[in-house]
Every structure is written in C-alpha cells, then in structure tokens.
Homo-oligomer: A and B are copies of this chain.
Amino acid sequence: MKSHTRYLALQTPARRGFVNITPEVREAVQQSGVQEGLVLVNAMHITASVFINDDESGLHHDYEAWLEQLAPHAPTSHYRHNDTGEDNADAHLKRQVMGREVVVAITAGDLDFGPWEQIFYGEFDGRRKKRILIKVIGE
C-alpha cells in the first residue's frame, strides 16, 4: 500500500469565501503514484469546510446567502460560544451544513469524477492562516 500526505496552507482575504482546490488535490494524487485508491481531503480547522460542487459564481452567492439565513452571523450575542470572546459561532454551524471532508475515488491514477465535480474549500471565519489535509492511500 502506498500513502502520500500533503498540507495546503491558505488565507482568505474576507471572512467568508470559496476556493477551488481541485488542481492541488489532483497534483497530490499524481505525486503519490497511486493508481487505485482513495483520497481524503479535509479542513484542519473547525470553522471551514471541504465540499464538492459546481464552480459557478452564482451558486456560490446562493450558498453564501442561504448559509447566512440558516445560521446568521449577527447578533453575535445570540450564541453562547461567543461568550468565550469569539465572534465565530455561526461559522461552526455553517461548517456542519457544508461538511468537513470529502473522500474521492482514485481510478487509473486520477480523481474519478462526474462531469461537474470540483473540490472547494469553504471558509466561514477567514483572514487568518488555515490548513487543508490531503491524504492519499492505495496502490
């Protein structure tokens, strides 16, 4: 069994944002030499997500508006977590809707994707350095 580990560092300029990380994941898969296996991609922080969906800016606007409706940032005093001095309780909730991680099949040395699948990092409490983990296993 082969394995390969890669950490991506990034920092979004705004509190919230979506970043397409498919090229970095594909590169890690290719570096691993794995032909058949799985790749796990996860946020290493608990106010961020990794998810798979469409690379379409209108949709990303819709996600942003919808998540803000489901779990509003303000009033920050609404959340007990924010009594600790944080203002990011909403980000912990939004991350649960969008998920922490994805697991993607590797077939014939590449991501085994449908026609529109792209991997995104979703940031809900940005403007600070965050990390993403890519773990490849297989043969």
Sampled A-B contacts (8; CB under 8 Å): A1-B37, A40-B103, A45-B114, A46-B116, A54-B92, A58-B81, A62-B92, A62-B93
**Interface range for A:** 35 or more
Q: List B contacts of A5 (CB < 8 A).
A: 36, 105, 107, 112
Q: List B contacts of A1 (CB < 8 A).
A: 1, 36-37, 138-139
> Can you tell how many copies of this chain the complex includes?
3
Interface of A is mostly: mixed
Cβ of A21 < 8 Å from any Cβ of B?
no
Residues of A at the B interface (CB closer than 8 Å) are 1, 3, 5, 36-38, 40, 42-46, 51-54, 56-59, 61-63, 66, 70-71, 79-84, 89, 92-93, 95-105, 107, 112-117, 131, 133, 135, 137-139
* Neighbour of A36 across the interface among B100, B116, B137, CB < 8 A: B137
